[in-house]
Amino acid sequence: MRVRLNQVSKFFGKTAAVDNVSLEVADGELFFLLGPSGCGKTTLLRLLAGFYQPDAGQIFFGDHPMNAVAPERRNCGMVFQNYALWPHMTVEGNVAYGLDVRKIKAEEKEARVREALQIVKMSEYASRPVNQLSGGQQQRVALARAIVIRPDVLLLDEPLSNLDARLRLSMRNEIRRIHAQTRITTFYVTHDQSEALSMADHIAILNQGRIEQIGTPSELYCKPNSPFAADFMGEINWIDAVVEEPGSGRRVCVRSGEFLWEVASTRPWIKGTEVRIGFRPESVSFSHGSAENSFPATILETFYLGGQQETLLKTGFLGDQSVRALEINPGKNDSANKLKTVSIDAEQILIFEKSSK
C-alpha cells in the first residue's frame, strides 16, 4: 500500500507536534521515522493509525483519503512499545484476537494464526501463556498479532526499546526477515540511529515536528543536509572555519587557526564566509606520508572497544578543542602523548554556513 501525507499538521494547544509534514512511502517499503524525544514521530504514527485527527493536511492510503476513516476501518496493524499483549491468554489466543473481532470463520482463523506464528517462528509456543515468554518472544507474538489481520500498513512504535542490547540486534534481523517475507508497507518509529541505519529502506529525520531530511541510510549518514541531521545520524567532529578561497567549483579552501583545509564542495562560496566543517571519527586516517588535510596530532587518550578503538587527539591549531578518531580492528594500543600524523579526505568533510542549524 502506497502512503502519502500532504502538508499534515497536528497541534496540542499552541504546540505543533507535527508541522506541515509531506512525504510519500512506496508500496512494500520499510520506512523509518527517526528523531529525538518530542520531535513528533509517535504523533505522526498515531495520525496514520487514526488515533489522532490532523488539524491540517491530508493522509492517503493509495488514492483513498483517510482523514475521516475510523481507526478500525483503516486496516492497520500496530505493535506498541510495551507490546500490549493480553496476559491471561495464550500465544495463540493473542494472535487470534484481531480475527475474532473481525468475526473470521474458525477454519480460516486457524489457518491464518498458524501462518502468522510460522512467519515469526513461534509455532511451538502456540499454547503457552504469554506471561511465560521472554521479552523477545513477546515481541514476536505482538508482530504475529499485527500481521495476522493482513494489514495494508504496519505501524511499529519503538518495538525494540524494552529489549536488552544483544536481543535487539537479533530482533532487527528478524523484523527485516519478516518484512521481506510479507512485504507490508511498514512505518517504524525509533530514536536509535543504528536501528534505522541497519534496517530502513528510507528514513525521515524529524526535528520539532518538521521533516529535516528524507533519504536512504547512506545518504543521510554521508550527505546530511544540515548540522542537525549530521549530528543526529552519528558522532561528528565540528570545527569553526572561514572561507579562504572559493575554489574551482569542486573544492573550497577554508582556514581554521593557521591550518588550511581542502573541502569538497560544488557550492559557490564567498571569501570570508564563516562556516562549520565536520567529519566523522572514522574518516580520520593515521597516515605515514603526505596526504590530504594532513597534520600532526598528539594522543590524549584511547578507548579500546574490542573491534574498534576511539582515540582523542589534540592539535596545535585548534586550541583546547580535541578531535575524535575511530579505528576499525585496531592493532597495538598507542600510549598517551604519542605524536601521530593524521589526515582527512576532502570528500569526507561536510561544510555548512555557521548560521545553519
Structural domains of the chain, with CATH = 3-224 (3.40.50.300), 237-344+349-353 (2.40.50.140)
Closest CA to 314 of 333, 342, 275: 342
What pLDDT, on a 0 to 100 scale, did the predictor assign at position 320?
Answer: 87
pLDDT surpasses 90 at 162: no
What pLDDT, on a 0 to 100 scale, did the predictor assign at position 332?
Answer: 65
Q: Cell triple for residue 153?
A: 500498513
What is the radius of gyration, based on Cα positions, of the chain?
Answer: 25
- Taking only the tens place, the pLDDT of each residue in 304-351 is 887 888 999 999 888 889 999 998 877 666 667 788 899 999 999 999
- Taking only the tens place, the pLDDT of each residue in 33-82 is 999 999 999 999 999 999 999 999 999 999 999 999 999 999 999 998 88
Lowest-confidence segment of 241-250, 287-296, 305-314 by average pLDDT: 287-296
Helix (H, G, I), strand (E, B) or coil at 60: strand
User: What is the model's pTM?
Assistant: 0.91
Closest CA to 197 of 174, 176, 226, 227: 176
What pLDDT, on a 0 to 100 scale, did the predictor assign at position 357?
Answer: 66
Mean confidence (pLDDT) of the chain: 92
Give buried/exposed letters for 193-206 (b at 16+ CB in 10 A, else e).
bebbbebbebbbbb
What pLDDT, on a 0 to 100 scale, did the predictor assign at position 289?
Answer: 58
Q: Which residues contact 229 (CB under 8 A, 6 or more apart)?
A: 205, 212, 213, 220
Helix (H, G, I), strand (E, B) or coil at 151: coil
What pLDDT, on a 0 to 100 scale, did the predictor assign at position 164?
Answer: 85
